Amino acid sequence: MLIKDKTIAIVGGGPGGLTLARLLQMQGAQVKVYERDVNATARVQGSPLDLHEESGLAALRKADLLNEFKKNFRPGADRMLIANPQAEILYSDHTQKPEEDFGNNHFRPEIDRGPLRNMLLDSLQPGTVVWNSHFIAMEPQNEGWLLHFKNGASAKADLVVAADGANSKIRPYVTDVKAIYSGITMLEGNVYDASEVAPCIDAIINGGKIMAFGNKKNLLLGQKGNGDLGFYASLKVDEGWAAENGLDYGDKAQLVGWFKTAYADWSSIWLELFENAAMPMVPRPIYYMPLNQTWETMPDVTLLGDAAHVMPPFAGEGANMAMLDALELSECLTSNKYQTLYDAISHYEIAMQKRAAQAANESLENGDKMHAEDALGTMVDMFGRH
Binding-site residues from annotation for NADPH: 43
Separation CA 151–CA 339 (nearest Å): 38
Separation CA 262–CA 185 (nearest Å): 14
SS3 assignment, position 237: coil
Separation CA 303–CA 307 (nearest Å): 6
Separation CA 8–CA 29 (nearest Å): 8
What does each C-alpha distance from 88 to 220, 297, 368 come to in angstroms?
15, 52, 23
Separation CA 96–CA 205 (nearest Å): 16
Strands 209-214 and 80-83: parallel
Specify binding-site residues: 43, 50, 113, 306
What does each C-alpha distance from 283 to 58, 154, 222, 237 come to in angstroms?
32, 34, 17, 12
Separation CA 61–CA 158 (nearest Å): 28
What strand order describes the sheet that includes 301-303?
129-130, 30-34, 7-11, 159-162, 301-303
**Phi, psi (rounded to 5 degrees) for 14:** -85, -170
Cis omega (within 30 of 0) for bond into 312: no
Specify binding-site residues for FAD: 50, 113, 306
Map 55-122 to HEC letters: CHHHHHHHCCCHHHHHHHCCCCCCCEEEECCCCCEEEECCCCCCCCCCCCCCCCCEECHHHHHHHHHH
Residue 136 and residue 150 in contact, taking contact as beta carbons nearer than 8 Å: yes
